[in-house]
Amino acid sequence: MRDAKYSSYKSNTEYRLRSLEEKLDLTEDEFVMAFIERFESGSNPEMWASFLYDRRTNEVLYDSSKIHSGDIDSTERTLKETLSSYVVIEKEHTRGVFGVSKFYIDELIKEEMGEIIRNRKFSNDSYIWVNEIIDYNGGENYAIRKIHPNLIDSEGSYLSTKTEDIKGNLPYLDELNGINLNGEIFSKYYFKKLDDVKISEKIAFAKLYKDFDWVIAMGVHLDEIDEYTEQTNNEIREISSGAIIGLLKYIFLILLIGFIILYLIEKNHISASTKSLEKEMNIDLLTKASSRRCGSNNLSNLFQQYKLTGENPAIMMFDVDDFKEINDKFGHNVGDNMLVEIVSVINMMIRSSDQLIRWGGDEFIGIFPGLKEEHVLEFGQKIIERVSMIQIPVGHEMISVTISIGYSFFKDSDSDFSDVLKRADYAMYQSKEDRGNKVSILI
């Protein structure tokens, strides 16, 4: 559900980018006013987080989330981390970053899940309830009762680990200790029955969903089992085999419900762990650019898409000028720092739909869907200029860095994506032969 929501709102972000790009023919001051008005008077302003500043003076022109702390680069990085997806738009010296916040989407998911849980019905007056942990150390107000079909009026109230049941047990403390120790717990305590004032002993299973700090639980009152058992004992004289089968069915149902809850929660946990592992495999550990494995898969998919639809992204290849001499003279740590800074600078310039790949050593590939041939050299020159502003500290001095860039596009005669890389590589070496710090294109 979370991934589907993120994907859905990513299209909203891209649509808003296109609407703002239509304003790029305005003057810079008019563009700033149009940007601010779009986010203050548009639909659902609370779902957007946007930041606009002057790159010359670092003056903040608009900060919808009030997150600016004095350093522009730090603010932009922090903003991007809070967004489900983001885009960047620039008008002369003005730069804007915006997208839909993860918090907004997560709150929508919580509301939808709450409605699903409240409307879910089970036999024997069983139900699912949810508490949201605020403080894993416990104490007063350690959690909030988020969803509780048996105590709807108390939803939103704070809970305490000091609360006792009628027998003096501390059910919330026991539950929290189990969650902290194992992430889940089976427990027994006394609680009121559904649609009844009667309090009886209950057995429950609870498990933590860490992303939301939700403890999701389900249980059954033991006297429900006792009543059923008593009824079965009375009937066993007449139909003992049928009663035993009925009891076994009841017990099986209780176990099945528990196992279903366990399965669903574990499935979600395994899915999240798998996605985390895949993300690590797809990211270069040093520079945080995409890995060659990830890049190769994407290039192959884009080439197949080009063959089917004709959509032709711009393919960029670059490497660092005189990188071997830099490593030999200043050491590999300086070279590594240089690569990290280059990737950081370029990532600040590109969209979330673009991709920067570390292909090997100091050689990188960029994929830019929708970048037209007539804009390639201009965009490449912007990258050249921003990278040349990088200063790497070495002892008591600073050294600068330059790169050489080559661009190309897929062709109908290509047999696979490696053909476009060969042309981009050749264009890059044309830039190097002309003393580097240059961008070239080979179609």
How confident is the model over 210-234, as pLDDT tens digits? 888 999 998 888 876 666 666 666 6
User: Domain containing 160: what range?
Assistant: 120-223
Q: Domain for residue 332, yes or no?
A: yes
Residue 356's CATH number: 3.30.70.270
> Is 275 a member of any domain?
no
> Is 420 found in the same domain as 320?
yes
Do 68 and 197 fall into the same domain?
no
In this model, does residue 192 exceed pLDDT 90?
A: no
Tell whether 297 and 391 lie within a shared domain: yes
Residue 186 inside a domain? The answer is yes
Same domain, 369 and 394: yes
| Residue 74 pLDDT level (bands cut at 50, 70, 90) | very high
The verdict on 74 and 171 lying in the same domain is no
- Domain edge (last residue) among 78, 104, 130: 104
3-state secondary structure the chain: CHHHHHHHHHHHHHHHHHHHHCCCCCCHHHHHHHHHHHHHHCCCHHHEEEEEEECCCCCEEEECCCCCCCCHHHHHHHHHHHEEEEEEEEECCEEEEEEEEHHHHHHHHHHHHHHHHHHCCCHHHCCEEEEEECCCCCCCCCEEEEECCCCHHHCCCEECCCCCCCCCCCHHHHHHHHHHHHCEEEEEEEEECCCCCCEEEEEEEEEEECCCCEEEEEEEEHHHHHHHHHHHHHHHHHHHHHHHHHHHHHHHHHHHHHHHHHHHHHHHHHHHHHHHHHHHHCECCCCCCECHHHHHHHHHHHHHHHHHHCCCCEEEEEEECCHHHHHHHHCHHHHHHHHHHHHHHHHCCCCCCCEEEEEECCEEEEEECCCCHHHHHHHHHHHHHHHHCCEEEECCEEEECCEEEEEECCCCCCCCCHHHHHHHHHHHHHHHHCCCCCEEECC
- In a domain, residue 281? The reply is no
Q: Flag whether 115 is in a domain.
A: no
Residues 436 and 328 in one domain: yes
Could you read off the pLDDT of 381-431 as tens digits, one per residue? 999 999 999 999 998 999 999 999 999 999 999 999 999 999 999 999 999
Residue 277: per-residue pLDDT: 47
pLDDT at residue 46, as a whole number: 87
Look up the pTM and report it: 0.45
Q: 412 and 364: one domain?
A: yes
Residues 381 and 327 in one domain: yes
Among 189, 223, 257, which residue terminates a domain?
223
Is residue 241 one of the residues assigned to a domain?
no
Instruction: Look at the chain and report how many structural domains it folds into.
Output: 3
Q: 100 and 146 in one domain?
A: no
Q: Are residues 436 and 303 in the same domain?
A: yes
| Same structural domain, 327 and 378 | yes
Please tell me whether residues 309 and 405 are part of one structural domain. Answer: yes
